[in-house]
């Protein structure tokens, strides 16, 4: 064989090798421009393998002049033997190809399998699909199992997700009033989507309870836990504010026993109960709470009425008895407050301006703690300023994180000193 013949054969082999490498490069570049290099990894590997196999067979045929048909027929026998030995693996491979063509999920989607496995898809390859579950564990599922299973893609058609919770209310009101009460509770939630609107459905009713289903949507699955907790908390607070009890699952005997014992216990005033649940004043003695609750004033606001405007400095603390208020700044809603929440402590105790307009979304009942009542407590026991400053500091930081994240830093000066300064109270220690 002459040198020219050898050189020509090498050039032909190089041609097929370079040509196949260029085609593989085009495939990879196309997937990168499509921004799906990981989602299409299995399909990409399949196309690349076909290109290299085609280039190899073409090289054998046109460079070495070997009959390709005979080679294919001979290799078919080995392929049958190898296929029988690798049935399970080949089942995963072809299932993976089918899943990539059908695309019931993509990398990044959260899927649920009918065997109870669920998680976010992080990778798919020839053999398996890999998920990260809620416990941050890696779950490996063979493609053949996924191809046969019933899948629920919670990230499709969009990332928002529907959630529903059930609760039972004691039959102390009409079903329509119970639905209206829970719809009002859902309006006060900060971690659920306002559109589409949440709704309440009556599931069943008997002599003891009305069973309701509260349905709403969340922006992503990561919001599920806190949204679920918030809805239960709001449902409890709104029901308590309206005097509606949750149904006792222990049975009617336990419920009647509880009711008879409760009827013999004198109920504290509404003002005292609201004051007793206020974390800011948790350190007060029983006598101090009693004196402060007697000085509290009940106030009402109409729906749409503005309680406080942005930039104002409040001179009292308002505790919500019933209804919902919205805090807005420049046309954007920052947060909502519900029964049991309070506002105005920043302005009363530290002279802080309000970060937005505070408006009643529903008819509102609040109890007001005036400046004079707080001043009287501080003069009798100045140490209250130190006790309130710790809770107030944490409250202000949490508020800034939600309303003004860029300003969420620890207060520069002692809040206790500022409280004493505003109320002209000296430390008697």
* Domain annotation covers residue 428: no
pLDDT of residue 392: 81
* Domain annotation covers residue 91: no
The DSSP code for 250 is T
Q: How far apart are CA 211 and CA 205, in angstroms?
A: 6
Examine the domain organization and report whether 133 and 44 are in the same domain: no
Q: How far apart are CA 240 and CA 246, in angstroms?
A: 9
* Domain annotation covers residue 99: no
What's 239's domain CATH number? 3.30.70.100
* Among the listed residues 121, 151, 160, 114, the one whose alpha carbon sits nearest the alpha carbon of residue 42: 121
Lowest mean pLDDT among 96-110, 133-147, 251-265: 251-265
* Domain annotation covers residue 90: no
- Where in the sequence is the domain holding 27, given as residue range(s)? 3-85
- Which of 85, 115, 144 is the last residue before a domain boundary? 85
* Domain annotation covers residue 260: no
- Which of 250, 280, 309 is the last residue before a domain boundary? 250
What's 383's domain CATH number? 2.60.120.10
Examine the domain organization and report whether 386 and 299 are in the same domain: yes
* Domain annotation covers residue 263: no
Lowest mean pLDDT among 163-177, 203-217, 258-272, 278-292: 258-272
Examine the domain organization and report whether 118 and 34 are in the same domain: no
Tally of residues, the chain: 429
Examine the domain organization and report whether 202 and 244 are in the same domain: yes
Examine the domain organization and report whether 274 and 404 are in the same domain: yes
20 pLDDT higher than 90? no
* Among the listed residues 343, 340, 228, 224, the one whose alpha carbon sits nearest the alpha carbon of residue 275: 340
pLDDT of residue 3: 64
What's 117's domain CATH number? 2.30.30.60
Examine the domain organization and report whether 73 and 201 are in the same domain: no
State mean pLDDT over 174-184.
92
248 pLDDT higher than 90? no
Examine the domain organization and report whether 284 and 413 are in the same domain: yes
Q: Which of 23-37, 55-69, 113-127, 257-271 has the highest mean pLDDT?
A: 113-127
Examine the domain organization and report whether 148 and 165 are in the same domain: no
Q: Which pLDDT tens digit goes with each residue over 180-201?
A: 999 999 999 999 999 889 999 9
- List C-alpha distances in Å: 422 to 20, 143, 364: 80, 69, 30
> In this structure, what are the phi and psi dihedrals at residue 368, rounded to the nearest 5 degrees?
-105, 130
**Tokens (6 digits) for 32:** 């990168």
> How big is the chain by its Cα radius of gyration, in Å?
34
Examine the domain organization and report whether 388 and 275 are in the same domain: yes
Q: How far apart are CA 396 and CA 415, in angstroms?
A: 11
**How many domains, the chain?**
4
Residues 27, 31, 33: CA angle, nearest 5 degrees: 115
Examine the domain organization and report whether 245 and 302 are in the same domain: no
Q: Which pLDDT tens digit goes with each residue over 227-240?
A: 999 999 999 999 98
Identify the burial level of 19 via C-beta atoms within 10 angstroms of its C-beta, where 0-12 means exposed, 13-18 middle and 19 or more buried. Answer: middle
In sequence order, what are the residues at sequence separation of 6 or more whose Cβ sits closer than 8 angstroms to the Cβ of residue 332? none
Examine the domain organization and report whether 176 and 304 are in the same domain: no
pTM beyond 0.75, yes or no: no
**Average pLDDT of the chain to the nearest whole number:** 80
* Domain annotation covers residue 52: yes
Examine the domain organization and report whether 307 and 241 are in the same domain: no
């Amino acid at each position: 064989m002459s040198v020219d013949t050898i050189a020509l054969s090498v050039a032909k082999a190089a041609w097929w090798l370079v040509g196949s490498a260029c085609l593989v490069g085009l495939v990879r570049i196309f997937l990168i421009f499509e921004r799906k290099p990981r989602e299409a990894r299995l399909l990409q590997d399949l196309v690349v393998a076909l290109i290299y196999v085609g280039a190899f067979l073409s090289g054998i045929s046109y460079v070495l002049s070997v009959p390709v048909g005979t080679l294919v027929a001979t290799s078919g026998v080995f392929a049958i033997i190898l296929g029988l030995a690798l049935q399970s693996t080949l089942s995963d491979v072809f299932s993976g190809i089918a899943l990539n063509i059908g695309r019931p999920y993509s990398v990044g989607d959260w899927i649920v399998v009918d065997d109870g496995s669920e998680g976010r898809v992080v990778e798919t390859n020839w053999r398996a699909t890999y998920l990260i579950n809620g416990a941050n564990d890696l779950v490996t599922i063979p493609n053949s199992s996924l191809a046969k299973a019933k899948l629920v893609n919670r990230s499709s058609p969009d990332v928002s997700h529907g959630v529903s919770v059930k609760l039972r209310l004691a039959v102390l009101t009409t079903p329509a009033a119970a639905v209206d009460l829970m719809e009002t509770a859902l309006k006060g939630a900060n971690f659920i989507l306002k559109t589409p609107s949440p709704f309440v459905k009556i599931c069943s009713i008997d002599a003891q309870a009305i069973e309701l289903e509260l349905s709403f949507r969340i922006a992503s699955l990561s919001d599920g836990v806190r949204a679920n907790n918030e809805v239960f908390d709001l449902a409890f607070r709104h029901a308590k504010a309206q005097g509606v009890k949750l149904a006792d699952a222990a049975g009617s005997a336990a419920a009647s026993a509880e009711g008879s014992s409760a009827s013999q216990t004198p109920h504290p005033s509404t003002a005292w109960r609201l004051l007793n649940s206020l974390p800011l004043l948790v350190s007060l003695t029983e006598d101090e709470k009693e004196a402060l609750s007697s000085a509290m004033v009940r106030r009402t606001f109409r729906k749409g009425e503005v309680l406080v405007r942005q930039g104002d400095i409040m001179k009292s603390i308002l505790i919500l008895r019933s209804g919902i208020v919205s805090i807005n700044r420049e046309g954007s809603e920052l947060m909502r407050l519900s029964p049991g929440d309070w506002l105005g402590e920043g302005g009363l105790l530290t002279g802080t301006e309000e970060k937005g307009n505070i408006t009643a979304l529903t008819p509102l009942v609040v109890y007001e703690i005036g400046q004079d009542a707080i001043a009287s407590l501080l003069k009798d026991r100045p140490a209250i300023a130190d006790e309130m400053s710790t809770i107030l500091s944490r409250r202000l930081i949490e508020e800034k994180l939600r309303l003004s994240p860029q300003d969420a830093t620890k207060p520069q000066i002692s809040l206790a000193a500022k409280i004493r300064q505003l109320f002209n109270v000296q430390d008697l220690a």
